[in-house]
Chain A
Amino acid sequence: MRSLAACLGLIACLLVFVGSAAAQDPRYERLDPDTRARVSAVIDSARTVGLPTEPLIQRALEGVLKGAGSDRIVAAVRRLAVDLGVARSALGSGASSAELEAGVAALRAGATPTVLAHLRERRHQSLTVALAVLADLAARGVPVDSAAAAVLVLAPTARDADLVEFRRAVERDIALGAPPAAATSVRLDATARAAAPGRP
């Protein structure tokens, strides 16, 4: 029973329920009506182009808890929607929501879309932790170029746990007084030596 018609018939059976975000999610009740309408419009647009909406909802809820005004909340949600789109352009349409959010963090830390694309090429597993480590190193004062270079070197073979340990080691060194760029370089060399052939 192989036929395109059968295939299309099956596809037609896949029901996707699309409606206004605000109409379906009770969390929107935490927003005042004006903010709700404006945020809902942004989220509906994001959903239409296939961007994840949960990060956008969470950003709005964060703003509500922090007592931010309507304009500020809407601006934050819009900015995140745009950045998620940029991250997706760099990481590809197959990137998960977690990868896109981490990609946004890396972009906001100063990494270029090219760096994200290179990371996608080099690492054939989830990029979430790699991108997050890049952003977190930058947050600790490591120049973003150094952080990006280090993550790209580690990307092909390091497990997520190795990347997290790398970040922790750099942070410890910085806390002990090492300049951030130097700390990153030293730890990267140490990691490369440990991974050299013949080493246990």
Chain B
Amino acid sequence: MFEHAEDEIMERVIRQLRKPVAIDEGLDARVMRAIAADARPARQRPALVRRWPLLAAAAAVAGLVIAQPWSQGSGVRSDSYQFVLVAPQAASVALVGDFNDWDPARSPMRATHSGLWATIVPLAPGRYHYAFLVNGIEWRPDPAAPAALDDDFGSPSSVVTVGGGS
């Protein structure tokens, strides 16, 4: 009986301690900024790009890949999304948006094959404006995604909405 009562207290304590604890939402950004500062300078231009003499205005494909989220006892859960752009003639492509402080250094995309550029970013539930920055100067929205109606700056962006999984 005595042991049983103490077990109950311990269970209650553990339940309490297992509750999610809110972590400053800016922490991810601070970590990624520190890491971006460590990152090496621009990579070599992929040879593949030079072999594909296609139109300057490339069609874009946005394939979103959702990773298996790890969520035991967590608060707001982020899933991983892969953004893809077909841009065979590009020398560099960066994904910029609300999720990475509009910083091209945070999500440089990597050329895979056939002029495909890709990167993975974690996104918590929410609605995000984003676009692709090609060659550091050309602003390109995602033709496969809804346009951001509420654009204030004259350069159109796209929107991605991440649900809460309900």
Contacts and interface: CB of A to CB of B under 8 A. Distances in A.
Interface of A: 25-27, 54-55, 57-59, 61-66, 68, 72, 75-76, 79, 97-98, 101-102, 104-105, 108-109, 125-126, 128-129, 131-133, 135-136, 138-140, 159-161, 163-164, 171
B38 interface: no
A105 B103 CA distance: 23
Contacts, number: 104
A62 B157 contact: yes
B140 interface: no
Nearest to B149: A139
A66 B154 contact: yes
List 9 A-B pairs, minimum CB-CB distance, nearest first.
A160-B163, A76-B152, A98-B126, A132-B161, A136-B146, A66-B153, A61-B102, A129-B163, A65-B102
Interface string B44-84: 00000000000000000000000000000000000000000
Given A62-B129, A66-B139, A98-B127, A105 B163 contact: no
B166 interface: yes
B159 interface: yes
Contact of B149 (A25, A76, A138, A160): A138
B101 A63 contact: no
B102 A54 contact: no
B164 A59 contact: no
Interface of chain B: mostly helix, strand, loop or mixed: loop
Kindly state the interface size class of chain B when it binds its partner: 20 to 34
A136 B159 contact: yes
B155 A66 contact: yes
A75 B25 contact: no
Given A55-B98, A62-B157, A65-B96, A125 B152 contact: no
B147 interface: yes
B165 interface: yes
Contacts of A125: 164, 166
A18 B152 CA distance: 29
A66 B153 CA distance: 7
B150 interface: yes
Nearest to B99: A58
A125 B29 CA distance: 28
Nearest to B126: A98
A86 B5 CA distance: 52
Contacts of B146: 135-136, 139-140, 171
Contact of A61 (B101, B164, B165): B101
Given A76-B152, A98-B125, A132-B127, A58 B102 contact: yes
A16 B20 CA distance: 19
B63 to A, nearest CB: 14
Contacts of A58: 98, 101-102, 129
B164 A128 contact: yes
B44 to A, nearest CB: 25
Which of B101, B133, B166 is most buried by chain A, counting CB atoms within 10 A of its CB? B166
A102 B152 contact: no
Nearest to B159: A136
Given A62-B157, A65-B133, 13 more contacts: A57-B101, A61-B101, A61-B102, A65-B102, A66-B154, A98-B124, A102-B161, A126-B125, A128-B161, A131-B127, A132-B159, A135-B149, A136-B159
